Amino acid sequence: MTDRAWFDAAKGDIPQWAASMPKDADGTTIDWDWVRSLDLAHGVGTIPESTPQSIHDALKADYATRERLESIIAQCNSAFMTDFDRFIGSYRLPRALAYANRRLNDNINTLLHLGEQQHLWAVSRERRGRATIAVLKPYSGSRPSNDDQGMLDLSGEAGGTSAGNTAAENSDVKFPTTVALDDVQDRTAAILDARAERRKAQRFQKRAGDAAMARANLSGATSPGGAALPGGAAASGNATGHHPKPDWRDAYLPGRDVDAVMGIDIETTGIDPARDYIIDVGFEFMNMASPRPAGEPETYAYEQGYYAAGDAYGQSRLAFGVPPENAALGNALIAKLTGIDVRGRSSEAGYRLFDEWPQAQAGLLARLTQQPYVAHNATFEHSWFMLNVAGYAESYRAGRITIIDTLPMSRQWDPGAVPTNEHPYGDNTLDAYAKRQGALDSAHNERHLGLEDSHIMLVAMKHHLAALKAQGKGPWGSTGRAGVGGKSCGRKR
């Protein structure tokens, strides 16, 4: 399929999803007819007239649409991965919804900016629980008519306002006297917190049920004072010293036979794959045990002149763009972190968008399925690939993708990752891990570019594995695994 035909194909999958996923992540029944009505390819945001009430109403409508879309997207992964009878054949629909949601999010940010320009509100970005949200406050140059109700006086007639402080005084447009702020506040944090509380309650209920079942069938009993029930204190151990408890990340640990891997790191415009864009991808290959393949170029010039290619080969750096609306707003945080200024990465400047480039997605997927791929905090890359790379979710579910994560290697096998007050689980950032494993000089810091970060990660991993093998620890310890290890679906390694 070419151009935007895949959106029609994605909508054609709605009956499969409707049969398997009647409710969204918040327990609300999904209106699949509403989903079918959306113009996913050309935008689901509202373009208002340039009047205060129109901007307010457009923002309110866009927030409502985003909440509905994101609650559906959030449930898709669980529905797809637990669809053991394979009623759902493709992950196209969630990718199409995420595509539309990214543009919708750009529209929301544009409206927020437009409201600031017209003095409808002031925007502050604040961390609330699990999310950073846009908080709207009355414009400081105008007097709020009612702080409790969040209403902003735009008439310019109230006492105490100076000339030029209101949008009404600076425009020929006839403004209404007030615009509400309380009904255009970002509810993302509250939604995520409520969702997390429901999951927590469900986990507690499941553990309680498992414990009750164990007591009922005496599975945990041996003799008076004997073995504890599953999940009890005896199961977790209380030995002194740095002995991290097993957790779900351990599934991503490598095995004793791991060798050829591809390290990958991505840079994005934010942390949410349903709202933000991939702008930089870097990857390279390295063998953890066997010699470097003959015939590969001997050297590679990284941005950091003090990086040496060493055993790495097949390096690649890919740059991608953002829509004009996103570029126009800029992204100071990402520019400071990575050096990438999205204002120069507009599609109008010739940059291709990753989620609009099927060939780039296909090329990346081919590499991800050839051998295990390694990332630091790999669930981040995985979540982005699920909503951006055509065929990735299907390949992962079919067991054709294996993921190894150096974060649990640091957490479980690196004695330098000791818990502190600042880092209760140890300092397991890529920067800290690479420095402890001799892959990054203490005088320098992680670059936050895909290829450079992939390189120090693989060098650190190789150094770490060599030390663990010499000590008979890690994969070669009593709890280590044979084979390649890593996380994959549908098969054991």
Q: Chain-wide mean pLDDT for the chain?
A: 87
| pLDDT tens digits, 18-68 | 999 999 999 999 999 999 999 999 999 998 888 999 999 999 999 999 999
| 229 band by pLDDT with thresholds 50, 70 and 90 | very low
Res. 231: pLDDT tops 80: no
Q: Tell me the two tokens of residue 203.
A: 């986990």
Q: Would you state the pLDDT for residue 3?
A: 66
Q: Where in 203-340 does DSSP place strands (E)?
A: 260-268, 278-287, 313-319
Confidence at residue 218, expressed as pLDDT on a 0 to 100 scale: 61
For residue 334, the surrounding DSSP H or E stretch is: helix 332-338
pLDDT computed for residue 219 by the predictor:
57
Q: Which of 135, 147, 146 lies closest to 187 in space, CA to CA?
A: 135
**Could you report the per-residue pLDDT of 166-215, keeping only the tens digit for each?**
333 444 444 444 688 999 999 999 999 999 999 888 888 888 887 887 77
**Residue that is written with structure tokens 């991993």 in the block:** 461
Residue 144 has pLDDT above 60, yes or no: no
Angle at 243 between CA 239 and CA 249, to 5 degrees: 135
- What is the pLDDT, as a whole number, of residue 1? 43
Upper half-sphere CA count for residue 475 (Cβ side, 13 Å): 27
Q: What is the mean pLDDT of residues 466-482?
A: 96
pLDDT (0 to 100) of residue 295: 87
Residue range 262-281: mean pLDDT, rounded: 97
* Strand 403-405 to 373-375 pairing: parallel
**Which is nearest to 485 in space by CA: 288, 315, 310?**
288
Which two three-digit tokens encode residue 187?
């509810």
For residue 353, pLDDT beyond 50: yes
* Beta carbons of 297 and 328 less than 8 angstroms apart: no
Predicted confidence at residue 241, as pLDDT, reads: 54
Residue carrying structure tokens 């900016």:
113
How far CA 13 is from CA of 18, 86, 162, 218, in Å, comes to 9, 13, 58, 47
The pLDDT, as a whole number, for residue 200 is 86
Mean pLDDT, range 385-404, rounded to an integer: 98
